[in-house]
Amino acid sequence: MSSATIVRVALGAYLLIFFSYLLGPLVVMSLTAFNSAAFPSVSPWACFSFEWFRVLYDDKHIREGIYYSIIIGVGTVILSVSMGLAASIVLTQIWPRLRSTYYTLIIAPILIPGVVLGISTLVFWDRVGKFLGATDGSFLHDLFHNGIFLTILGQSAFIASYAMLVFVARLQRFDPGLTEAALDLGASHTQAFRKILLPFMRPAIASASVLAFLASFENYNTTTFTIIDYKTLTTVLAQKVRLGINPSISSLAFIIIVLTIFAALAFEASQRNRQRKEAIKQGKQKSGSKGFLPSFMRGNPAAILFVLLACVVIVMISVANSYSAKECKVRVREARQIEIQQRIDALKKARAAKELANPGQSQAPATGDKPANAPSGAFGNVFDPNNLTDETQEKETPGGSGAFGNVFDPTNLNNDE
């Protein structure tokens, strides 16, 4: 039996490692959104604050990026879902010998690196413009060098493959006899498509649209080449992150994470609810009316979590409107000043004590309350008081090997005085 426990412990440890690798960075990033420090960090925690959300909200580029991302997303959804649907219908009817070649062709865009797709789209439409003799400033030239137009085409090239996969899975359960029956009863092909196939595909169309929109919204590799002089949210973010990071990006990430969790919980809750209703319909489960929870939450942890999370978010927003980190910031600044002052005082005391003693310098420094030498600390031994006195003796030595160099070296401060 002990081997079973070993397996269980190993499994637990493995799950813990896997999920902390997957979720840990997101948690840390979310936390940095609430730290008032100008560099996104958690460990020297300054103040709890909502100011980065304000900075984010005021950021014109990000708002513009979101706007264009949505436009491009909608265009991509329309184009890629219709192409994916058409491709999946053709796949069910194509000549068997052509089938595998055709499937390779329509699945290939998933495997082509996004960079390559972006470049080829850019190059191809530039070429088409030249071929059609479009001159600078003409409508066609502008269209073929328009970032939104090119990005929709470039993204649809591979997002249509994702949509196609969703449709193929659903089409496998479609009974072609239904369409044939409709045709026999005198429906036209268009009618049969609209009245039979389309309603059957509706759930798949919905999920393919969501998938396509999200894929478009977060695409970077293709977009960065095809967008030219417009910007989407991802290109704005990439530029910001590369130029210098600040916690307003964390706050955006936090908002996206919360929205994602909401969506996931809502989906899970509605599925459970449907399952439960079906179970009740089949008489497997009593619809019992006991308990104080409303019916949609009963036996449905996802729904309970959803409501709880919504409450937390509402509380947070209302707190954010009234809460101000000003006091805390003042306190942090004061604390830092006091700390610096103390260090200056200690230094002065040490110097005075040394002057009292004779110039024989090899002796231990005079002030009594010194900690033992522990050079392995986090800051090297910059803060070690022994170190400070040594440096005052040998004035210009470039000491301080710790994390902060000798920024906090009191000699620096003293020289300023």
Q: Binders of another protein among 150-169, rule CB under 8 A?
A: 153-154, 156-157, 160-161, 165
Pick 317 or 403: Cβ nearer another protein: 403
Planar angle of CA 41, 42, 43, nearest 5 degrees: 110
Q: How many residues does the chain have?
A: 417
Q: Taking CB under 8 A as the rule, does residue 43 contact another protein?
A: yes
Please choose, from the candidates 199, 190, 188, 192, the residue with its C-alpha nearest in 3D space to the C-alpha of residue 178. 192
Q: Which residues ranging from 328 to 367 are in contact with another protein (CB under 8 A)? A: none
H or E stretch at 23: helix 2-32
The DSSP string of 292-343 is SS-GGGTT-HHHHHHHHHHHHHHHHHHHHHH---HHHHHHHHHHHHHHHHHH
- Smallest separation (angstroms) from another protein to the CB of 65: 11
The least CB distance from residue 73 to another protein, in Å, is 13
Is there binding between residue 76 and another protein (CB under 8 A)? no
Single residue of 6, 8, 9, 18 touching another protein by CB under 8 A: 18
Q: Closer to another protein by CB, 225 or 350: give it.
A: 225
Task: Give the nearer residue to another protein in terms of CB position, either 131 or 415.
Answer: 131
Residue closer to another protein by CB (options 10, 357) is 10
Per-residue contact string for residues 191-210; x = within reach of another protein by CB under 8 A: --x-----------------
Q: Which residues pair with 266 in a beta bridge?
A: none
Q: Please classify residue 222 by burial: count the beta carbons closer than 10 Å to its beta carbon, then call 0-12 exposed, 13-18 middle and 19+ buried.
A: buried
Site membership for another protein, residue 115 (CB under 8 A): yes
Contacts with another protein in 240-299 (CB under 8 A)? Answer: 241-242, 245, 249-250, 252-253, 256-257, 260-261, 263-265, 268
Q: Out of 26, 47, 66, 366, which residue is the one contacting another protein (CB under 8 A)?
A: 26
> Interface with another protein by CB under 8 A: which range of 16-24, 49-57, 139-147, 341-349?
16-24
- Which CB sits closer to another protein, 126 or 390? 126
Of 208, 237, 325, 350, which one interacts with another protein (CB under 8 A)? 237
Q: In angstroms, rounded to a whole number, what is the distance separating the alpha carbons of residues 291 and 288?
A: 9
Tokens of 18: 């896997």
- Residue closer to another protein, measured from CB, 220 or 408: 220
298 neighbors 287 (Cβ within 8 angstroms): no
Kindly give the interhelix angle for 326-356 and 385-393, rounded to the nearest 10 degrees: 60
Q: Which stretch binds another protein (CB under 8 A): 116-124, 280-288, 323-331, 364-372?
A: 116-124
Interface residue with another protein, options 146, 221, 367, 392 (CB under 8 A): 221
Taking the CA atoms of 393, 395, 400 and 406 in sequence, report the sign of the dihedral they define. positive
Q: Single out the residue of 268, 250, 266, 255 nearest to residue 313, CA to CA.
A: 255
